[in-house]
Amino acid sequence: MTRHALHANRNPSQALGKQMIDPHLVTAQPEAVKSRLAIRNAEAVAAVEPALRADVERRELQTALDQQRAERNAANDLMRKLDKKSPEFAANRDRLRALSDQVKSGEERLAALELSRDTLLQNVPNLPHESVPAGGGETANVVISTWGERPSYDFTPKAHWDLGPELGIMDFERAAKISGARFTVLLGAGSRLSRALAQFMLDLHGSRGYREMNPPYLVRREAMIGTGQLPKFEDDAFKTMGENELFLIPTAEVPVTNYHRDEILDGERLPIKYCAYSACFRAEAGSAGKDTRGLIRQHQFEKVEIVKFVTPETSYAELESLRSDAEEVLRQLGLHYRVVALCGGDLGFCSAKTYDLEVWLPGQDAYREISSCSNFEAFQARRAQIRYRPAGDPKARPRLVHTLNGSGLAIGRTVVAIIEQFQRADGSIDIPAPLQRYMNGQTRITREGSA
């Protein structure tokens, strides 16, 4: 870490790449950009034209202004050589004063134009990768693979919101008393199971080349902008009151990706891989009425996140291996799941391609997302200015890295999956073998005494 990078503190609109999509691409090939965005939706396509027009205007002024500046600079050069007491000096100074004012007002107009162009460009989402299926809604998503057998039961499997409280390891009612809706208290073996999962996941990813990181849970606005949560999705975030504004992280992706913000990484070191456990906080704005039962959709949950910084050439191969690393958690736990490639309409704003891992929840007779693995290509890196110098070519200019991340996995949802998939007729739960060593050898969860 250099002192420069540590202390860099520029205005977000300057420090962070000013826009997310490659502005040159939009200007040079607007039609190609539009046709790629059509895989998402009409709104994305419509965002291109206004940004394009604003950029043309900006460029015209830029050119004109640069000429004025050149003129002023040349005149200024003259001033240096003139005798300060001569009448020429005074005359020239007056002329320069006017020129200077002219430049200044041009600079103001340019700043305004840049701002409006940037704002418009920030409405343009990332281009979907060519392999992304077109269409909108969950029905257009494509199932890539399915792992394991869907378990069968000689009784009617229960949902975790019944099993958990019956076993005395989950308390929704008291959680609501303390914190309101969308919070859950885990108790006894439930709490231990959650903790065991965190450790198991971190150890697993650690053994597969991810460096473990324990990041801050509160971050500055710049960090949220860097990973794309802001400015568009401010309503989804919790933030602190008062003059020291900080945001509660919605995912460890935010601090971990921003860890290398404003840096030029050594190409030799890529790929750089991290795994991080953290609590996550989401306001879940706009999800009223969705998943109101159980702990599927909470304001606070825990997650182990895996993050990669890679070269553009390797990012799609790295996406496959990242997905496989996330899948490995489910495989070792023996949980039945499937892999889905998200269609353009379901793709996140910053993502070029996303796989969801969906675990089977027999209590709900449904597959539910337990991990989302995405390649953001240079979209986040451009905003956060994360670059690298290609290995073996020290003269090469710095290039933007590609960033990827995925849940590995969402811990609460894994608890749910274990409870639902490994339930027995008597209501007890089998603990998967890899977790037992993290739970003092406990093999089953049975009804616990509670107040």
Partner RNA sequence: GGAGGAGUGGCCGAGUGGUUGAAGGCAACGGUCUUGAAAACCGUCGCACUCGAAAGGGUGCCGGGGGUUCGAAUCCCUCCUCCUCCA
Catalytic: which of 36, 117, 387, 413? 413
What torsion do the CA atoms of 238, 239, 240, 242 make, to the nearest 10 degrees?
-140
Catalytic: which of 351, 371, 372, 407? 372
62 scored as a contact of RNA (CB under 7 A):
yes
15 scored as a contact of RNA (CB under 7 A):
yes
CA–CA separation, 257 vs 251, rounded Å?
Answer: 10
Question: Nearest Cα to 334, choosing from 425, 212, 252, 429?
Answer: 429
The strand order across the sheet containing 211-213 reads 142-147, 337-341, 353-361, 366-375, 402-410, 300-310, 272-281, 211-213
Stretch of residues binding RNA (CB under 7 A), selected from 21-29, 118-126, 163-171, 193-201: 21-29
- When the beta carbons of 63 and 152 are compared against RNA, the nearer one is 63
Catalytic (active site) residue 437? no
Give the x-and-dash track for 242-281 against RNA (CB under 7 A).
----------------------x-----------------
3-state secondary structure (DSSP) of residue 176: helix
Catalytic (active site) residue 321? no
- Which tokens hold the place of 85? 């007491």
CA–CA separation, 411 vs 370, rounded Å?
Answer: 8
Stretch of residues binding RNA (CB under 7 A), selected from 56-64, 119-127, 209-217, 434-442: 56-64
2 scored as a contact of RNA (CB under 7 A):
yes
| DSSP H or E run through 248 | strand 247-248
Catalytic (active site) residue 284? no
- When the beta carbons of 290 and 395 are compared against RNA, the nearer one is 395
85 scored as a contact of RNA (CB under 7 A):
no
63 scored as a contact of RNA (CB under 7 A):
yes
Catalytic: which of 109, 220, 297, 399? 297
86 scored as a contact of RNA (CB under 7 A):
no
Closest separation in Å from C-beta 63 to RNA: 4
Closest separation in Å from C-beta 226 to RNA: 14
Here the contacts of 165-168 (C-beta below 8 Å, separation 24 or greater) are 166/427, 166/447, 167/427, 167/428, 167/429, 167/445, 167/446, 167/447, 167/448, 168/447, 168/448, 168/449, 168/450
Written as one string, the DSSP assignment of 354-418 is EEEEEEEETTTTEEEEEEEEEE-TTHHHHHHTEEEEPTT-TTSPPEEPEEEEEEEEEHHHHHHHH
28 scored as a contact of RNA (CB under 7 A):
no
70 scored as a contact of RNA (CB under 7 A):
yes
b/e 297-328 (16+ beta carbons within 10 angstroms → b): bbbbbbbbbbbbbbbeeebbebbebbbebbbe
Residue 30: burial class (beta carbons within 10 Å; 0-12, 13-18, 19+):
middle
93 scored as a contact of RNA (CB under 7 A):
yes
Name which position in 16, 20, 21, 24 contacts RNA (CB under 7 A): 24
- When the beta carbons of 59 and 177 are compared against RNA, the nearer one is 59
- When the beta carbons of 51 and 333 are compared against RNA, the nearer one is 51
- How big is the CA angle at 364 (ends 363 and 370), to the nearest 5 degrees? 100
In the DSSP assignment, the letter for residue 174 is H
Name which position in 42, 111, 366, 391 contacts RNA (CB under 7 A): 111
14 scored as a contact of RNA (CB under 7 A):
yes
Q: Are 376 and 391 in contact (CB under 8 A)?
A: no
Catalytic: which of 234, 284, 328, 369? 369
Q: Is 142 left (phi over 0), alpha (psi -120 to 50) or beta?
A: beta
391 scored as a contact of RNA (CB under 7 A):
no
394 scored as a contact of RNA (CB under 7 A):
yes
- When the beta carbons of 81 and 290 are compared against RNA, the nearer one is 81
- Looking at residues 136 to 175 of the shown chain, list those that interact with RNA (rule: CB under 7 A): none
66 scored as a contact of RNA (CB under 7 A):
yes
8 scored as a contact of RNA (CB under 7 A):
yes
| DSSP H or E run through 353 | strand 353-361
Catalytic (active site) residue 413? yes
Stretch of residues binding RNA (CB under 7 A), selected from 37-45, 79-87, 195-203, 300-308: 79-87
3-state secondary structure (DSSP) of residue 207: helix
CA–CA separation, 27 vs 48, rounded Å?
Answer: 9
Catalytic (active site) residue 282? yes
Stretch of residues binding RNA (CB under 7 A), selected from 23-31, 34-42, 363-371, 441-449: 23-31
- Which tokens hold the place of 139? 């029905």
Closest separation in Å from C-beta 280 to RNA: 23
- When the beta carbons of 28 and 366 are compared against RNA, the nearer one is 28
CA–CA separation, 210 vs 275, rounded Å?
Answer: 5
Q: What residues make contact with RNA under the rule CB under 7 A? A: 2-11, 14-15, 23-24, 27, 59, 62-63, 65-67, 69-70, 73-76, 79-80, 84, 93, 96-97, 100, 111, 264, 394-395, 397-398
Query: Which of the residues are catalytic?
Result: 282, 297, 369, 372, 413
